[in-house]
């Protein structure tokens, strides 16, 4: 295989959760048996120079191919991933990666050979000429809370009216809080009812769940970006719409599986700032996508 078929770039963001991020990095290299993975971490935690250096040294000591970048500010989720991607282009300039994995740090790999299976899956589709129009691969993401699969996030494109409605809801803080709580209950019940359902076939979908998605080389080759202009939320729609505009498909691939521990970093009751981010992101989707 050539380099473009062998190597995987994994991007993640650390925000006030050093222990989880470091444990995640260890799990990546324990799973990466063939030495395929290169990792770039964006440290979004605001802290002293001493503490920032300590985290960087500890993270980079975990594996030969780990690099950390920090602007000593919180760049948001995709803002951090984009910074990590730019750092990786400096640290690993000679490698044309077959894919770029965007991952939360509360992810567990469903197989001790996950990265081998991922690369083999991509290689199989490459040899069968099935990857030319695929931009993103979405694995099964099993919720640790319910056991249900969180992918596909959207099988079909949501209507523009949905984003108009939600942006209006999130413009009023009490309504935003109520909607978030009701959504959690609804998703819990829905996911419980989906436990045990087995997905067997690959399926073209609209949007992948943002906790773990695999972007193929073609996504970036055609001009796909990570530079989402909002701070948080609706990143999946941003990626899905880029795929659509570039003539690419998102593929749900149930042969690949990870577990999402779903650490509630934003809390049960969202703050005013979180609800504000929700409103901004849904307005962005309403105004930019049809």
Written as tens digits, the pLDDT of the chain (290 aa) is: 344 557 999 999 999 999 999 999 999 999 998 999 999 999 999 999 999 999 999 999 999 999 999 999 999 999 999 999 999 999 999 888 999 999 999 999 989 999 999 999 998 777 766 667 899 999 999 988 888 899 999 999 999 999 999 999 999 999 999 999 998 787 767 666 666 666 678 999 999 999 999 999 999 999 999 999 999 999 999 999 999 999 999 999 999 999 999 764 445 688 999 999 999 999 999 999 86
Instruction: Please report whether residue 279 resides in a domain.
Output: no
270 domain residue, yes or no: no
Indicate whether 42 belongs to any domain: yes
Within a domain: residue 184?
no
CA torsion through residues 86, 88, 90, 95, sign: negative
Question: Does residue 285 fall inside a structural domain?
Answer: no
Contact 212, 100 (CB under 8 A): no
Asked if the bond preceding 50 is cis, omega within 30° of 0, the reply is no
Interacting residues of 140 by C-beta distance below 8 A, sequence separation 6+? 110, 149, 151, 199, 254, 256, 257, 258
In the DSSP assignment, the letter for residue 109 is E
pLDDT at 192: 61
CA 118/CA 138 separation, integer angstroms: 11
Distance CA(155)–CA(175), nearest Å, equals 27
Nearest 5°: phi and psi at 257?
-145, 140
Cβ atoms of 240 and 206 closer than 8 Å? yes
**Of 105, 104, 260, 274, the residue nearest 181 (C-alpha):** 274
pLDDT at 3: 46
Q: Give domain status of residue 61, yes or no.
A: yes
Q: Would residue 14 count as lying in a domain?
A: yes
Output the six-digit token pair for 265: 């970093």
**Residue 202 burial (CB < 10 Å; 0-12/13-18/19+)?**
middle
pLDDT at 95: 83
Q: What CATH number does residue 47 fall under?
A: 3.90.550.60
Q: What is the CA radius of gyration of the chain?
A: 19
* Segments forming the whole domain that contains residue 94: 3-158+197-265
- The alpha carbon of 265 is separated from its chain's Cα centroid by a whole number of angstroms, namely 15
Look up the pTM and report it: 0.92
Structural domain tally of the chain? 1
For residues 259 and 109, what is the distance between their CA atoms, to the nearest angstrom? 6
Residue 287 belongs to some domain of the structure: no
């Amino acid at each position: 295989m050539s380099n473009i078929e062998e190597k995987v770039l994994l991007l993640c963001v650390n925000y006030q959760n050093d222990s989880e991020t470091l444990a995640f990095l260890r799990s990546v290299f324990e799973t990466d048996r063939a030495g395929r993975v290169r990792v770039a971490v964006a440290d979004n935690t605001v802290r002293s120079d001493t503490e920032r250096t300590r985290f960087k040294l500890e993270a980079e000591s975990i594996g030969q191919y780990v690099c950390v970048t920090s602007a000593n500010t919180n760049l948001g989720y995709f803002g951090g991933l984009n910074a990590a991607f730019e750092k990786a282009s400096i640290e690993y300039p000679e490698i044309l990666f077959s894919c770029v994995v965007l991952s939360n740090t509360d992810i567990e790999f469903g197989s001790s050979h996950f990265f081998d299976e991922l690369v083999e899956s991509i290689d199989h589709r490459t040899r069968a000429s099935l990857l030319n129009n695929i931009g993103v691969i979405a694995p099964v993401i099993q919720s640790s809370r319910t056991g249900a699969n969180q992918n596909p996030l959207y099988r079909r494109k949501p209507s523009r009216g949905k984003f108009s409605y939600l942006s209006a809801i999130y413009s009023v803080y009490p309504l935003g809080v109520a909607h978030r709580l009701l959504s959690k209950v609804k998703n819990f019940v829905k996911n419980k009812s989906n436990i045990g359902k087995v997905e067997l076939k690959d399926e073209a979908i609209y949007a992948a769940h943002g906790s773990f998605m695999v972007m193929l080389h073609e996504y970036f080759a055609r001009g796909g970006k990570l530079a989402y202009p909002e701070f948080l939320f609706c990143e999946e729609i941003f990626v899905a719409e880029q795929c659509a505009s570039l003539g690419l498909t998102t593929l749900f691939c149930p042969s690949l599986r990870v577990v999402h521990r779903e650490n509630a970093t934003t809390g049960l009751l969202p703050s005013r700032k979180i609800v504000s981010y929700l409103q901004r992101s849904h307005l962005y989707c309403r105004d930019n996508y049809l």
